[in-house]
Amino acid sequence: MRKKFKVSYELIMVIILIAMVFVFGGLTGGKFFKPRIMIRCTSDVAYLGVQAMAMTLIILTSGIDLSVSYQMVCSGMVCAWVYNHAAAMGPVPAALLAIVACIVSGFVFGAANGIIADKTPINPWLITMSTMYIFQAISWFFGTSFAFSAGNPIVDIGNYDIGGVVPTQLILLLIVFVIFYIVEKKTTFGRYVHAIGYNENAVNYSGISAGRLKFWVYTLGGLLSAVAALMYMGRSWQINQETGMNMNIEVIALVVLGGTSTAGGVGGVTGSLLACLIIGVLKKGLALMGLPGTVYNFIVGIVLIGSLILFAYLQKRKKLVSRRMAIENMDKQQ
């Protein structure tokens, strides 16, 4: 086997990630090198990373889910509402009930997107743009904001550091990543998700219902939004109507930064995880340097467009290489 060293997009991302740690380490006078800080900078973005895992699968099918952040807010509101109404049961049973309600509502919201994506030929941009408004309206029904106090297990777990170092937020992100990595790479489901993104017809003509697959992909999106809601509330002690603003774009940006093509087919969850870590380091590093949020936005924009240019360049190079191989292959046959 000819095993040549290949420059993959993921590899470049790992190098950038390491380089960023050193750059920030230098710029902040070594403050960034503390393991506590390095590990904890993922906490701020872990809930985005979790949503990005399902979003990766959705985008791989050449779909999109704009409603993702309002699914999160809505499940969060359901969770908080249930917790407050069940407070008399004591914090642990109430939290358990609230978590179940949160997950169930996330499932229902995701399934609602999924059913429409399965049964109609409507573009997912339009489906999820419409449901985005609906989910937002539903969340208003439960409340405009909730704040949690200490003693609520959701907050206690969400802010806990295992061994005083490793945050539960990071652990949850890694667990979700491992599950989704296996699903994407090692199951028939993952194979078909990629195939749908390239050519939905051919999947249907292989005896596989592309519609049913899409249903499950969007439903997973809803489920992980609920998980993300728990993580978000656990970390920030509260949830409110403003939480969902622009967050859908942040999640999509992570997936795109991770090298998943919005045309479908190309990409994977590994890139999305790396993108999440890069954004986490960037956020923390800039904050440690005492720079304002506008600088962060500016840099994220630059990073995004830079990554897209790099990705397009690598894709083109890959195509050229494989074309050359194809022509060599023909010459050999003759």
Partner 1 sequence: MGAAIDYSDLILKLENVNKSFPGVKALQNMQITLARGEMHAVCGENGAGKSTLMKVITGVYQADSGDMYLNGEKVVIHEPNDAYGKGIAIIFQETSLFKDLNVLENMFMGHEPVKKVAGFINNIDYAAMRKKADEIFEFLGITGQIDYDEKIDNLGVAAKQMVEIAKALTYDARVLIFDEPTAALTNKEVRALFRTIARLKEQGMSMLYISHRMEEIFEIADRVTVIRDGSYVRTAEIGHVTEQELISWMVGREMNEMYPKAEVEIGDTVLKVEHLKRGGETDGFPLKDISFEVKKGEIFGIAGLAGAGRTEMAECLVGLRKYDSGTVTLNGAQIHNKNYRDAINRGFVYVSEDRKKYGLVVPMSVEENLTMSILYRLTQNGLIDFAAEDKLVDRYMAELRVKAPDREFVVENLSGGNQQKVLVAKALCAEPKILILDEPTRGVDVGAKSEIHRIVSTLAQTGLTIIMISSDMPELLGMCDRVMVVKAGAKTGELKREEFSQEKVLKLAL
Q: Which residues bind partner 1 (CB under 8 A)?
A: 182, 186-188, 191-192, 194-195, 198-199, 201-209, 265, 322-323, 325-327, 329-330, 333
* Least distance (Å) between residue 264 CB and partner 1: 10
Give CA 232 to chain center in angstroms.
13
* Least distance (Å) between residue 42 CB and partner 1: 28
Residue 29 — φ and ψ, nearest 5°? 65, 40
Residue closer to partner 1 by CB (options 294, 322) is 322
Residue closer to partner 1 by CB (options 194, 284) is 194
Residue closer to partner 1 by CB (options 206, 246) is 206
Residue closer to partner 1 by CB (options 149, 322) is 322
Which residues, at least 6 apart from 219, have a Cβ–Cβ distance to it below 8 Å? 107, 110, 111, 113, 114
Residue closer to partner 1 by CB (options 88, 327) is 327
* Least distance (Å) between residue 272 CB and partner 1: 20
Residues 193, 57 contacting (CB under 8 angstroms):
yes
Distance CA 83, CA 81 (A): 5
Distance CA 128, CA 113 (A): 7
* Least distance (Å) between residue 323 CB and partner 1: 5
* Least distance (Å) between residue 225 CB and partner 1: 24
Name the CA radius of gyration of the chain, rounded: 21
Distance CA 317, CA 67 (A): 35
Query: Two tokens at 270?
Result: 């590994």
* Least distance (Å) between residue 195 CB and partner 1: 5
**How many other CB atoms are found less than 10 A from the CB of residue 106?**
29
* Least distance (Å) between residue 292 CB and partner 1: 43
Residue closer to partner 1 by CB (options 100, 321) is 321
Residue closer to partner 1 by CB (options 15, 182) is 182
Residue closer to partner 1 by CB (options 143, 265) is 265
DSSP state of 162: E
Listing DSSP states for 218-271 in one string gives: HHHHHHHHHHHHHHHHHHHSEEEGGGGTTHHHHHHHHHHHTT--TTSSS--HHH
* Least distance (Å) between residue 172 CB and partner 1: 23
Listing DSSP states for 174-185 in one string gives: HHHHHHHHHHHH
How long a stretch of residues is the chain? 334
